[in-house]
Structure 1
Amino acid sequence: MRNILKEWQAEIRRTLNGNPVSLPEWVPRLAEGNDPGYFTPDSAVWTVHGSMSTIVAGIRALLMQTLHPGVLAGVREHSHYREDPLGRLAHTIRWIMTVTYGSTAAAREASDWVLRLHEQVRGEYVDGHGQVRTYYANDPELLRWVHIAFTDAFLETHKIWGGPIPGGPDAYVREWAQAGRLMGAEAPPVSEAEMKKQLDSWFDAGDLRFDDAVKETVDFIRNPPLHPMLKPGYRVLFAAAVSSLEPKYRELLRLQPARLGPLPLPVQLATHVTLGVVHLALGRQAPSEQAARRRLRRLGYEG
């Protein structure tokens, strides 16, 4: 039984870190730097991003991002998400954790690195109105969609499966707007109400669409090539992400809350249990946060 548990823990670490045993090289480097960074332990960002609800949030953000045809075209045509989905996940986690816990120099460096990768991501897509348009991954408008879909996902899932947020939801949206600015997003929202208004503006304008490409991508997100030991838990987390979506976006994605015949399944409770088990496997405090706290202690920061 102990060997099975160790194997399961190793597979979780492999999925999230890319390595079942050692930490990625960038994690200890978060202890380096000469300032506290954009966010500190008493911030809303540390609270939300330190929660296990981020695992559900990641799935929800991917589902939402598929609805913008320009963003989806860039992912499908220029990334290797099918061949190496865990590699793409590792890159995303690296950027999030570095901006959250790193020094300001580390956060800027990580964001600039992503922007350089985006420079070659260009092409054409059919928009929600049937018009052929060009896309460019560093287009501020596309970056704003990605930023808002991310922010909305992390905030909403934390409301359900996390705890209190210092300063409330507005504080998280306002603080994480800094990440949007680092990535070149145009006018990132600074309050929850503004975020919802901007998010719905794409929907109301008919800029979002569902087509075969969205269906294929959603099917991949629903059933990624995970180790068999992780699949039962992932099914719960996927159902959680679907249940957390606003009904109009869930309907646009052609997704339904999990049911057993006419009865809804207790997804919220099952997700609490699943996230609790994952938390036990990963430990009380993420290595990224531990490294950041070492930097803060070195700098004499109290908070």
Structure 2
Amino acid sequence: MGDPGLYTPRSVTWQLHGDPMMWVVGVRALYLQALLPRAVRGVLQNSDFRRDAWGRLGRTADFVGVTTYGTTEAAERAGARVRSIHRRLTATDPVSGERYGVGEPGLLLWVHCAEADSYLQVLRRSGYPLTGAQADRYLAERRVSARLVGLDAQKVPANRAELAAYFAEMRPRLMAGPEAREVDAFLQRPPVYPLLIPARDLLWHRVAALAYAALPPYAHDLYGRPAPTPATVTHRLRTTGTLL
């Protein structure tokens, strides 16, 4: 009876974003996003995530939740807020000294595609019943969120073939530089209150390790840390998905 929002309950996005594996998805996306130097610098030079890691993760989850399940007005308002922040922030290339905006379309597109790919890869490998046609539909639907953060929706991959072509094009530009190493170290041992350290070492370490293992092989090569075989990773994802 009310406003169903930008996606509506009939969308694939509505279904996927409610799956508890989204926490593994989010960490995998961060690992992948950090491999584009210009993108990760924008985060490290403007973010307080080192001091407020859990707050940042919570705000990101809130954005996904509001844009997926909120009213149209709430989703558009959240998108406008993100676009406003992007317009004000800049980053500096430490080598060339170039100063650039963190809202560059190329950077936003990388972040968007890394997140969308992470949803599809993690959920499908964890046993979520998603057909190829539904996966393509999900990517087409995600053009809505791309528009919200400031991208031209028509220039965003709308199916698996277009997404694969995009990643093939981007691979020569990826590297695990100092900033990516910092993100890697942070994700393995994020700061917590002393009393929560045992829980972090027991629970969070497993989430981060599984997210890293679920990355594509070229990402493992760039980071330089080995991962289990794809079959072993898929088994662990399926076991985790079943338990959750």
Partner of 1:238: 208
- In structure 2, how many angstroms separate the alpha carbons of the residues matched to 1:84 and 1:55? 17
Partner of 1:150: 115
Q: Work out the number of aligned pairs and report it.
A: 237
Aligned with residue 85 of structure 2, among 111, 117, 125: 117
- In structure 2, how many angstroms separate the alpha carbons of the residues matched to 1:223 and 1:265? 26
Aligned with residue 253 of structure 1, among 213, 223, 229: 223
| Paired amino acid for 1:244 | A
Which one has a bigger Cα radius of gyration? 1
Asked if 1:209 corresponds to 2:179, the answer is no
Asked if 1:60 corresponds to 2:25, the answer is no
Closer/same/farther in 2, CA of residues 107 and 115 from structure 1, 3 Å limit: same
Partner of 1:28: none
SS in 2 for 1:119: helix
Partner of 2:136: 170
| Paired amino acid for 2:205 | R
- In structure 2, how many angstroms separate the alpha carbons of the residues matched to 1:244 and 1:102? 30
Q: Percent identity?
A: 30
- In structure 1, how many angstroms separate the alpha carbons of the residues matched to 2:6 and 2:127? 22
Unaligned 5+ runs, structure 1:
1-32, 280-303
Give the deviation of 1:268 after TM superposition: 4.4
Equivalent residues of 1:57, 1:153 under 8 A apart: yes
Asked if 1:225 corresponds to 2:215, the answer is no
- In structure 1, how many angstroms separate the alpha carbons of the residues matched to 2:168 and 2:96? 21
Q: TM-score, normalised by structure 1?
A: 0.71
Counterparts of residues 268-287 of structure 1 (less than 5 Å) = 268-274=234-240, 279=244
Give the deviation of 1:69 after TM superposition: 1.1
Give the deviation of 1:200 after TM superposition: 2.1
Unaligned 5+ runs, structure 2:
none
Counterparts of residues 1-303 of structure 1 (less than 5 Å) = 34-125=2-93, 133-165=98-130, 167-186=133-152, 187-203=155-171, 206-226=172-192, 227=196, 228-258=198-228, 266-274=232-240, 279=244
Q: TM-score, normalised by structure 2?
A: 0.88
- Judging by fraction of residues, say which structure has more helix: 2
SS in 2 for 1:159: helix
